[in-house]
Amino acid sequence: MKKYWYLLFIGVSIIVLSCKSVDKTEETVHHYTHISLGDPFIMLYEDQYYAYGTQAEDGIVVYTSDDLEVWEKAPALALHKDNSYGEKWFWAPEVYYVNGKFYMYYSAEEHMCVATSDSPLGPFVQDVQQPMLPGEKTIDNTLFIDDDGTPYLFFDRFNDGLNIWVAELEDDLKTIRKETLHPCIHVSQEWEEVWPRVNEGAFVIKHNGTYYMTYSANSYESQFYGVGCATATDIMGEWTKYPHNPLLQKPGNLYGVGHSSMFKDKEGKWRIVFHAHQSETKIHPRNMFISNVYFKKIGGEEVLQIDPDFITPVIVND
């Protein structure tokens, strides 16, 4: 009997040690690091994904991927401060391919800017190195082109805290038609009033005739930074926030989630990308995550939803 227990002990020990050896090998092979991008944006162009965001002190970085899983950082900045208005605070870039040209909308020194390039990797150059609205602080500019070809710019104004406005653009996609400036949303729901008065980071899509705007509320420094949604049937009309907002706030073990944007993947499915704090106690550097977006009928209305159970980190291999 003693011999039996001794052999059993040896067998179990071998199995345990084997498992530990496998785990150690897998950890060695699968080392990775998060991509630390605040205010992230992903564009799919010619079967390649491009990710841009807030990171570099002297411009805008870009990462590339074939599958949204393995990413590589481009060796050069997509935008360098030498080609832009401003010397610092290069935030929230978004890139769109329109009529054979790439347009990057971003903020520099808390002013909206737009630069162009012949390549999604850059270099992006701001032809006239002036803000889109000189003399006024504005950030988080995002482009939306409607079905009839009319271009709109959504952005944050620094009046009544931070709140979201829209205006039409001229055909050059750079010039704001100031006479069309129109307010969209401001802080108005209890979940948005943690700290301070912020509605920011708008992103707009159109689905079955309805405009859907995702936005973020509370300070980006707050653990309760989150994502809400508002809808409209007329861009220049009234925007109505979901009564069940927020759609995303402190999911799982993530804190400070927000400043999202949406994109369609290679299968034509809507995805959403956003940043989160480094940890429960540390804000920077913020990491990038991706989740699924879908529409669900509630009370006869199609409601945009974010899947909180399918959130994946965006990583690069060491």
- Is 61 in the same domain as 161? yes
Tell me which residue of 107, 105, 114 sits closest to 138, measured CA to CA: 107
Regarding whether 101 and 81 lie in a shared domain, the answer is yes
Cα–Cα–Cα angle for 29, 19, 23, nearest 5°?
Answer: 20
Residue 53 has pLDDT above 90, yes or no: yes
**pLDDT of 7 higher than 50:** no
pLDDT in tens, 261-294: 999 999 999 999 999 999 999 999 999 999 999 9
The pLDDT score that the predictor gives to residue 11 is 43
Same-domain pairing of 45 and 18: no
* CA 99/CA 164 separation, integer angstroms: 27
**According to the model, what pLDDT value does residue 287 have?**
97
- Through-space distance between the first and last CA atoms of the chain, rounded to whole angstroms: 51
- 57 in active site: no
- Answer whether 78's CB lies under 8 Å from 61's CB: yes
- 8 has a pLDDT exceeding 50: no
Token pair, residue 117, equals 């390039």
Respond yes or no: is residue 23 known to be catalytic. no
Does residue 148 have a pLDDT over 50? yes
Segment 78-92 mean pLDDT? 98
Q: Residue 105's CB: how many other CB atoms inside 10 A? A: 24
Task: Mark whether 7 and 84 lie in a shared domain.
Answer: no
Give the residue-averaged pLDDT of 81-103: 98
Task: Quote the pLDDT of residue 28.
Answer: 37
Report whether pLDDT(303) > 70: yes
Rounded mean pLDDT of the chain?
91
| Active-site position among 171, 200, 238, 309 | 200
What sign does the CA torsion over 120, 132, 80, 57 have? negative
What was the pLDDT predicted at 27? 40
d(CA 109, CA 126): 15
Ranking 76-80, 155-159, 312-316 by mean pLDDT, the lowest is 312-316
Query: pLDDT, tens digit, for every residue of 171-191?
Result: 999 999 999 999 999 999 999
Q: Which of 39, 94, 156, 192 is catalytic?
A: 39
The pLDDT, as a whole number, for residue 234 is: 98
At residue 14, does pLDDT exceed 50?
no
Distance, CA of 219 to CA of 193 (rounded, Å)? 10
- If asked whether residues 141 and 63 sit together in one domain, one would say yes
Give residue 317's pLDDT band: very low, low, confident or very high (50, 70, 90).
low
How confident is the model at residue 124, as a pLDDT?
98
Whether residues 3 and 40 fall in one domain: no
Residues 55 and 26 in one domain: no
Q: Give the least confident one: 4-13, 244-253, 261-270.
A: 4-13
Say how far apart CA 1 and CA 172 lie, in whole Å.
88
pLDDT for 215 = 98
- Tell me what pLDDT residue 233 has: 98
Nearest 5°: the CA angle 225, 169, 93 is 40
pTM: 0.90
- From the CB of residue 78, how many other CB atoms can be counted at a distance below 10 Å? 26
Q: Are residues 23 and 39 in the same domain?
A: no
Do residues 20 and 56 share a domain?
A: no
Neighbours of 221 (CB within 10 A): 12
Tokens representing 184?
Answer: 């969209």
Radius of gyration of the chain (CA): 22
CATH number where 280 lies: 2.115.10.20
Amino acid at 90: F
Residue 235, pLDDT above cutoff 70: yes
Rounded to an integer, what distance in angstroms lies between the CA atom of residue 166 and that of residue 181?
Answer: 6
pLDDT of residue 31: 58
- Whether 10 and 111 share a structural domain: no
Domain count, the chain: 2
Which domain range does residue 24 map to? Answer: 1-30
The answer to whether 222 touches 276, Cβ cutoff 8 Å, is no
**H or E element, residue 201:** strand 199-207
**Residue 316: per-residue pLDDT:** 85
pLDDT of residue 300: 86
Q: Do 132 and 10 sit in the same domain of this protein? A: no
- Taking 70 as the threshold, does the pLDDT of residue 318 lie above it? no
Flag whether pLDDT at 2 surpasses 80.
no
In this structure, what token pair is assigned to residue 38? 């605040």
Same domain? For 207 and 130 the reply is yes
User: Sheet containing 138-145: which strands, arranged edge to edge?
Assistant: 138-145, 151-157, 163-168, 182-185
